[in-house]
Structure 1
Amino acid sequence: MTSSVFETAPPDPAGYLNRVAGSELGRSYKRRMLDELAPRPGQTVLDLGCGSGADLEALAAAVTASGTVIGIDHDQHMVDTARARAAGPATVDVRLGDLHDLPLPDDAADRARTDRVLQHVADPRTVLGEIRRVLRPGGRLVMGEPDWETLAVDHPDGDLTRAYTRHVAERVIRNAGIGRQLPRLAAESGFHVPEVVPVTPVFRDVRAADQILGLERCTRRAVAAGYFTAEAARTWLTHLTQGPFLATVTFYVVVAEA
């Protein structure tokens, strides 16, 4: 089932986050999120689910020495990585914490962001309620999440594409439809939602797509879960490596105001 085209070993989680952040796709949507967040000098900004800390430096530059950037992540390895990465600016504070129970008082921040985090949490509503609690009146939250049910990979056999997408949505991602759900969930959590920006990256190179999507690894998991037979999986992957390649998924940037 394997091919030299595909990455077969799972990347280190922090390395994967850095890879996405450094890609053309990552740089593009992160710029849009930063523009929408519009952090100002002197403000307190939260990076919730900060991961490896790829965005802390840009946030620190925006708030300047008079502001504060607080990164929070539930994984100690990520916290350690982010702290090392952000060791320079005194304005950056990285903490271990659960987004369902933020270690912050009420009305503690002017801005908050989440980036591909809510697709993985146990209860997005609880997280949004916590963010609403810690944002000051008039504060702004910017969220970026994919909608994995919009994942489309071109293949002559549409049934194989549907099986692959269904597996990703049902078994790989906990909250696969969170992208399209975010405006409603934010409104139900007490936010005003002035803007929703769909971003649809188009992958034309199978290697570049695999670096983000893990095509072969997900296919192996789909076989184990019964979505593909081994033969169907070979058919699926072989065409992806040989034919003209195209894949897309819709990513939503959602702006919410407290």
Structure 2
Amino acid sequence: MTSSAFTTDRPDPIDYLDRLAVSDIGRAYKRRMLDELDVRAGQTVLDLGCGPGTDLGRLAAAVTATGTVIGVDREPAMVDTARARMADQPVVDVRLGDVHDLALPERTADRARTDRVLQHVADPRRALGEIRRVLRPGGRLVMGEPDWETLTIDHPDADLTRAYTRHVADEVVRNAAIGRQLPRLAAGAGFTVPAVIPVTSVFRDAQIADAFLGLERTTRRAVAAGYFTEEAAERWLDHLARGPFLAAVTFYIVVAEA
């Protein structure tokens, strides 16, 4: 099972995050998240799961020279890259750390953000409790997460689409339904939730979708896990490669206040 239309190589994590950030979809939702965060000059802002520093520069510009931006990531390679990229930004401090156990005093920050992070963590409830602990009263958290159970890809055989989405939700993403769960989980952690903003990401080009979804790579995993037969996977990929192509998934931006 192979198709020359799609890549089978696992993407470099830093390159993947960089490409997402400059895509039309990435720019649009990140701009909306920054607007909802409402950062002010002089504030302390946490970027939790900051990756290679993709958004740290924009946060630094928002807090100005009088504020502080603290980026936290659990991956040493991400931290090293972010530190190198932010070397000329004295207001930015990038640290190795875990969102479940932040090495920060209570009531440290005015703002916090997580971007596609909570779908991967071991315990979203604990992570949200930690973020609540380190935010000052009146502080704001803005989270952005997909709901992978909303993933749909057009195909003449709807059963194949359902099998693909079920595999992604069951096997590929740890917290696949986190997007829809965030308001409830945030309320349970002591936040109020003034806004939930759904953003539908639509892909009409198979190659662009493949760059973010790993269509063939994920299909191979679905075959190995028993969600597809080899024959069904061939039919699935052949149609996706030949088009017309359409895929969509809902991404939730959730605003929470301490």
So what's the TM-score if we normalise by structure 1?
0.99
Q: What corresponds to 1:194 in structure 2? A: 194
1:57-107 deviation per Cα after TM superposition (whole angstroms, max 9, x unaligned): 000000001000000001101100111111111000000001100010000
Alignment of 1:124-203 (within 5 A): 124-203=124-203
2:230 aligned partner: 230
Q: Secondary structure at the match of 1:200?
A: strand
Structure 1 stretches lacking a partner, 5+ long: none
1:23 aligns with 2:18: no
Aligned to 1:201, the other structure's residue is in SS state strand
Q: Secondary structure at the match of 2:100?
A: coil
* Alignment deviations for residues 113-162 of structure 1 (CA, whole Å, 9 cap, x no partner): 00000000000000000000000000000000000000000000011101
> Structure 2 matches for 1:85-124, cutoff 5 A?
85-124=85-124
- Cα distance in 1 between the residues matched to 2:118 and 2:141: 13
Distance (Å, rounded) in 2 between the aligned partners of 1:257 and 1:130: 14
| Alpha-carbon offset, residue 5 of structure 1 | 1.7
Aligned to 2:67: 67
Equivalent AA in structure 2 for residue 26 of structure 1: G
Q: Which amino acid aligns with 1:186?
A: A
Q: How many residue pairs get matched?
A: 258
Deviation at 1:2, TM superposition (A): 2.0
Give 4+ residue runs of structure 1 displaced > 4 Å after superposition: none
Report the counterpart of residue 33 of structure 1 in structure 2.
Answer: 33
Question: 1:137 is matched by which residue type in structure 2?
Answer: P
Compute the displacement of 1:7 (Å).
1.5
Residue number in structure 1 paired with 2:208? 208
- Root mean square deviation, CA, Å: 0.6
CA distance in 1, matches of 2:66, 2:136: 18
Q: Point out where structure 2 has 5 or more consecutive residues left out of the alignment.
A: none
How high is the TM-score relative to the length of structure 2? 0.99
